Amino acid sequence: MKLTEIQDPSFLKRMSVSELEVFAGDIRRFLIEELATTGGHLAPNLGVVELTLALHREFDSPNDKFVWDVGHQAYVHKILTGRAGQFDTLRQHKGLCGFPKRNESIHDVWETGHSSTSLSAAMGIAVSNELKGNDDRAIAIIGDGALTGGMALEALNHIGAEQQNVIVILNDNEMSIAPNVGAMHQMLGRIRSSRKVRYAQDELETLIKKIPLIGGKLEKGGEKIKEAVKGALVPGMFFEELGFNYYGPVDGHDLDDLIEQLNYVKKEEGPVLLHVITKKGKGYRPAEYDGVGTWHGLGPYKIESGEVIKGKSKAPSYSFTVADTLTKMARDEDKLTLITPAMSVGSKLDCFEKEFPNRMFDVGIAEQHAVTFAAGQATQGMKPVVSIYSTFFQRAYDQLVHDVARQNLDVTFTIDRSGLVGADGETHQGVFDIAFMRHVPNIRIVMAKDENELQHLLYSAVKYEGPIAVRFPRGEGIGVTMDETLHEISLDTWEVEREGTDVAIMAFGPQVQDALKIAELLEGDLSVRVINARTIKPLDEKMLDALYAEGIPLVTLEEAVLKGGFGSAVLEHANEQEAFPRVKRFGIPDWYIEHGGVNELLEEIGLLPGQIAEEVRSFVNQGKKQSV
């Protein structure tokens, strides 16, 4: 069958195991070929081809509800539910989303992008099923990486206690983006190496009875001893103790075994966990032998050589500049430590890790813990830096408010992927952090106009004693010359980048470059002042007061949500001063920005320099008319 002709997964039920095996090969070829042009999450999807086939064969989606954790591994599910024909638009503007999307298919019941939500969502679905009196199943598919997230553990705790009918499929490939870490990972490793298989409950009882000499006595001798023996025989005792019936470990590429185990699982009442061992990147050599995480998610590549196609790089990435600066600083500052919640690959922290392995902590997907762990260190005089993506920092809001800022602790946050990120879409846009940090007492927020200013701003932020967030965008710097030595710059003043008398544009981060472009576009018509407002909090109140007094029209520009953002801060300050400047704000509107190229997205919301320039022109002219 041609993959593009698939409408729904029901045809799988008529396929034999050997037919399914051939079909798995077709799906792998399709993924490798399609993603070579579009890019995307190749390795996670190659790892779940057989698992997804078996799940769709043994359950009845959409009545039975699949909840994919993170959702980056749902491509095979998308193919089997009638979306193969849209893969040439994967992660592109208006194209197929890289994560489950409810408006794409009735088979996508739960939208994600952030990890560790699947068990809670499946529990919600299972409870609803019960209350509504139907026996549809709730099936969460979660990776060993996502299982380290606090939410997943909270949900295990709840599901086990309630004995709810939730099926958990643990897709254990030993990798998060990079190799997985933590005690949970070590525990799963012990299970994997024990190579024992789960015996169905009644078989286990029979087995215990058969143990020479003591088996019969044990049977009569009370539950406690029986449970202890069971612990030795059942590899997933941890999950059993939490109230789950554990099955596995099963080879996730052996369709025969998978189907057999799913049939056991289907018949169970109460919570059940099937431990499936898979290989990330299965079936494509470069992805299979990737110990680093390159093939987790990537852009286009050459299929034959496995070479990742990269545009000519003009400048180091902002992430690299941050990691490099921290590494340099750590050479002189032995209290500096670096904490990452599983994002060392994306934030390019390997240089720090190589040089200071004992001061670098990958805590797994555990943003909340990462922040409070840093706070704990700061109470002891250390200088912790939490490297975190803007979007994942959302998870740790209370830890910021209650643990770090309230105690006014010396923690630096380096906020990667601040601003629009593009292809990952609405779950990943880094546009909320200013709004959720700005109202928190004690914290400072800064963003540099280019990579050179970034290194100095970060240097100053780490030297500063108190909570401070250094934002920086995804991708490459703009190619400015980097100073050899680091120096401190002010953390509460702005700078005029270009003089002008008709209007003042205040921007920070890469938007300073946009403001300069706008000024050029309007040259001849309007004289535009451009201000690098690199300290978002506190504002440069002295400069602002002078601007209010001057009466020049003000424009604020930010790639962050308008509500509660930098422009709002400028208005609030005017209100506090009882000043009434004319202010026009540009930023992210009050809706979620979907996936697509950053420029396409900016165009859609009217934030390209050319679009803003026209708006600024009419804003200033309108003001002139009013004052005539």
Which active-site residues does the annotation give? 280, 367, 395
Residues 456 and 512: beta-carbon distance below 8 Å = no
How far is CA 546 from its chain centroid?
Answer: 41
* Closest distance to ligand TPP from the beta carbon of 72 (Å): 5
Report if residue 393 touches ligand TPP, rule: CB under 6 A: no
Q: Does 367 carry a binding-site annotation?
A: yes
- Which residue, among 584, 481, 593, 493, has the nearest Cα to 534 in the 3D structure? 493
Residue number with CB closer to ligand TPP (9 or 44):
44
Between 144 and 450, whose beta carbon lies closer to ligand TPP?
144
The answer to whether the annotation marks 610 as part of a ligand binding site is no
Alpha carbons 359 and 294: distance in angstroms, whole number: 24
337 binds ligand TPP (CB under 6 A): no
The residue from 9, 39, 44, 384 that contacts ligand TPP (CB under 6 A) is 44
Contact 534, 495 (CB under 8 A): yes
Q: Of 25-33, 140-148, 185-193, 325-333, which segment contacts ligand TPP by CB under 6 A?
A: 140-148
143 binds ligand TPP (CB under 6 A): yes
What is the spatial order of strands in the sheet that 554-561 belongs to? 495-498, 528-532, 503-507, 554-561, 583-588
114 binds ligand TPP (CB under 6 A): yes
- What letter represents residue 300's amino acid? P
Number of residues binding to ligand TPP, judged by CB under 6 A: 23
Alpha-carbon distance 154 to 136, whole Å?
23
CA angle 100/102/104 to nearest 5° reads 80
Position 344: which residue type?
A: S
258 near ligand TPP (CB under 6 A): no
Residues in 417-476 that interact with ligand TPP by CB under 6 A:
none
Q: How many CA atoms lie within 13 A of 610 on its CB side?
A: 3
How far does Cα 66 stand from its chain's mean position? 20
Q: Does 177 bind ligand TPP (CB under 6 A)?
A: yes
What's phi and psi for 506, nearest 5 deg? Answer: -105, 125
Token code pair at residue 282? 């299965």
Residue 344 assigned to a binding site = no
Residue 342 sits in the site that holds ligand TPP (CB under 6 A): yes
Residue 113 is assigned to a ligand binding site: yes
Nearer to ligand TPP, 138 or 169 (CB): 169
Taking the complex as a whole, how short is the minimal distance between the CB of residue 188 and ligand TPP, in angstroms? 10
52 interacts with ligand TPP by CB under 6 A: no
Exposed/middle/buried for residue 547 (C-beta within 10 Å: 0-12, 13-18, 19+)? buried
Triad 500, 502, 504: Cα angle to 5°: 65
CA distance 239 to 270: 13
**In the complex, minimum distance from the CB of residue 220 to ligand TPP, in angstroms, rounded to a whole number:** 43
Q: Is position 181 an interface residue for ligand TPP (rule: CB under 6 A)?
A: no
Near ligand TPP by CB under 6 A: residue from 52, 61, 73, 120? 73
Collapsing DSSP to helix, strand or coil, 114 comes out as coil
> Is residue 72 at the binding interface for ligand TPP, with CB under 6 A as the rule?
yes
What is residue 340's three-state secondary structure? strand
H/E element holding 246?
strand 245-251
3-state secondary structure (DSSP) of residue 263: helix
66 binds ligand TPP (CB under 6 A): no
Of residues 115, 129, 377, 460, which one binds ligand TPP by CB under 6 A? Answer: 115
Nearer to ligand TPP, 23 or 389 (CB): 389
- Minimum CB separation from ligand TPP for residue 430, in Å? 13
Residue of 111, 30, 481, 55 lying closest to 283 (CA atoms): 30
Asked if residue 456 belongs to a known ligand binding site, the reply is: no
Residue with tokens 């609405």: 426
Residue list, annotated binding site for thiamine diphosphate: 72, 113-115, 145-146, 173, 284, 367
Residue list, annotated binding site: 72, 113-115, 144-146, 173, 284, 367
Q: Binding residues for ligand TPP, per CB under 6 A?
A: 44, 47, 70, 72-73, 114-115, 143-146, 171, 173, 175-177, 280, 296, 342, 365, 367, 392, 395
Residue list, annotated binding site for Mg(2+): 144, 173
